[in-house]
Amino acid sequence: MSKGYTLNELLIITCAKEIKDYQNVILGVGLPTTAGALAKALYAPHATLMMESGIIDFEPLVPLNHIADAHACRGFSYATDLFTAFTMTYRGFIDICFLGVGQVDKFGNVNTTCIGDYFNPTLRLPGSGGAADFIAYAKQTVLTLRGGQFVEKLDYFTSAGYMEGGDSRDRSGLFPKGSGPSMLLTTQGVFRFDSETKEMYLAQIHPGASVEDIRKDIPWDLKVSPNLTQTERPTDREIDFVRHFAPTESVGRSMRTELSIEHAFNRAKKRGKV
C-alpha cells in the first residue's frame, strides 16, 4: 500500500518529470522550484538550475520566495546579471522553462497581464516578467494553470505560444525553430500540442478527473488523444521528497494559511499575548 498524496504533490511530481538529465533549466517561483528540486534530486542530477536574476546552478534547499532568492540555497556556481540570463536564453542555452498562466488559448498563447480591458482592467495580473522572452527562446516551455482559464481569445497577448497554430510560430521568423510550449499542466490533466496543427489536446488525465469535467472549462471543442492515459501515481520516494522539501507546497495555499495563523495564535497565547 503506497502513501496517500495531495493534488499539489501530484502536480509537482508530474511537472518534475519533464526535466531531463543534463538540461539547463529556468525555474519560476512555487510549483516549478519544487519540481526542479525534485528532478535534480531524483532524476536529473546534472541539470543546471537557474533563476533569471542571474543565480546560476543552485540546489534549492527550501522553496523560493521569489526569482532572486539566494536565501533558498547554500551558495551557487555562477553569479551573473539578469541581462545575461536572458541573452543566454536568446542564444539557445536554455532547454526548458516553466511559466504560470492567467489565460491560455488553444494554441498555447498566454496572458499573464490582465483580465478585461487593458486600460480599465477587471483583474490586473502581474504582467510579463520573464515570460514573453523565455517562451520565445527556451527550447521548450511547460505551462502551468491552476487558477487561470481557457479562452477563445486572450484579453491581452503577453507571451507567444504557437500563435495562429500550424507553422505560424516557425514562419514568423522570430523564434528558434521547434521552440514553444510542450505541455500545459492543470489540476485535472496534462495537455500537449499536435505536431501539425499545434492545437492543444488532452493527453493525460489525473486520477479522479473526468474528460467531461475537463471539457466544461474549455470554450472550444477539445480534442482528446486516442491514447489518453492516466497520470502516473506518485511513488513514495517522490512524495517523501516533496513533503520534506516543501511541506507548504504539499498542503497548498489555503491549508498553509489556516495552519500558519493557528500556529501564530497558539504561540502568542503561550507567551501571554492575545
Partner 1 sequence: MNNNANKVMSANEAVRRFIHDGDELIIGNYTVGTCTELIFEICRQQKKGFTLYSQSGILDVDVLVNAGCVDRLVTTYVMRSGGKKGGGAVERALQAGTLEMEDYTNFNYNARLVAGMHGLTFIQVLEGVMATDLFRKRSFMGEDKYRVIKCPYTGRDLLTVPAVTPDVCIVHVQRADKHGNAQYWGALGSVAAAALCSKKIIVSCEEIVEHDVIRQSPHFTIIPAFRVNAVVEVPWGAHPTEVLGHYNRDHFFYGMFTTANTREETAKAWMDEWVFGCSDREAYIDRYAARFGIGMLDKLRAKAFYSAPANYGAAFTSAWDENGKERSMGLSLAQIEQRLAEKGMLYE
146 binds partner 1 (CB under 8 A): no
Binding of residue 75 to partner 1 (CB under 8 A): yes
Beta carbons within 8 Å of 165's beta carbon, 6+ residues apart: 106, 107, 197, 198, 199
Least CB distance to partner 1 at residue 249 (A): 9
- 111 CB contacts (<8 Å, ≥6 apart)? 101, 102, 103, 104, 125, 151, 154, 155, 156, 157, 158, 159
Is beta strand 189-193 parallel, antiparallel or unpaired with respect to 149-150? Answer: unpaired
Residue 247 to residue 81: CA distance in whole angstroms: 31
Q: Which set of grid coordinates corresponds to residue 134?
A: 523565455
Give the residue, chosen from 174, 255, 268, 274, that forms a contact with partner 1 under the rule CB under 8 A: 255
Q: Which residues of 12-31 are buried (b: 16+ CB within 10 A; e: fewer)?
A: bbbbbbbbeeebbbbbbbbb
CB of 104: closest distance to partner 1 in angstroms? 25
188 binds partner 1 (CB under 8 A): no
Exactly one of 266, 268, 269, 274 binds partner 1 (CB under 8 A); that residue is: 266
CA–CA distance, 189 with 202 (Å, rounded to integer)? 7
Using the minimum distance from each CB to partner 1, give the nearer residue, 55 or 202: 55
Q: Is residue 5 involved in binding partner 1 (CB under 8 A)?
A: yes
* Binding status of residue 72 toward partner 1 by CB under 8 A: yes
Among 3-11, 109-117, 145-153, 215-223, the segment contacting partner 1 (CB under 8 A): 3-11
Among 42, 43, 57, 201, the residue binding partner 1 under the rule CB under 8 A is 57
Annotate each residue in 11-50 with x if it binds partner 1 (CB under 8 A) or - if it does not, as one string: -----------xxx---------------------x-x--
In the numeric block, which cell numbers belong to residue 73?
540555497
Active site residue 199: no
Chain positions 86 to 125 lying near partner 1, rule: CB under 8 A, are 87, 90-91, 93, 95
Please, how many CA atoms are within 13 Å of residue 272, restricted to the half-sphere of its CB?
0
82 binds partner 1 (CB under 8 A): no
Q: Which residues of 102-135 are buried (b: 16+ CB within 10 A; e: fewer)?
A: bbbbbbbbbbbbbbeeeeeeeeebeebbbbbbbb
Number of residues this chain uses to bind partner 1 (CB under 8 A): 54
Give, as ranges, the residues between 218 and 237 that touch partner 1 (CB under 8 A): none
CB-based contacts of 166, cutoff 8 Å, min separation 6:
196, 197, 198
| Catalytic-labelled residue, pool 9, 18, 52, 199 | 52
> Which of 42, 70, 82, 224 touches partner 1 (CB under 8 A)?
70
Single-letter amino acid, residue 108: G
What is the greatest pairwise CA distance in the chain? 68
Residues that bind partner 1 (CB under 8 A): 2-7, 10, 22-24, 46, 48, 55-57, 61-63, 70-72, 74-80, 83-84, 87, 90-91, 93, 95, 207-208, 243-248, 250-252, 255-256, 259-260, 262-263, 266-267
The residues annotated as belonging to the active site are 52
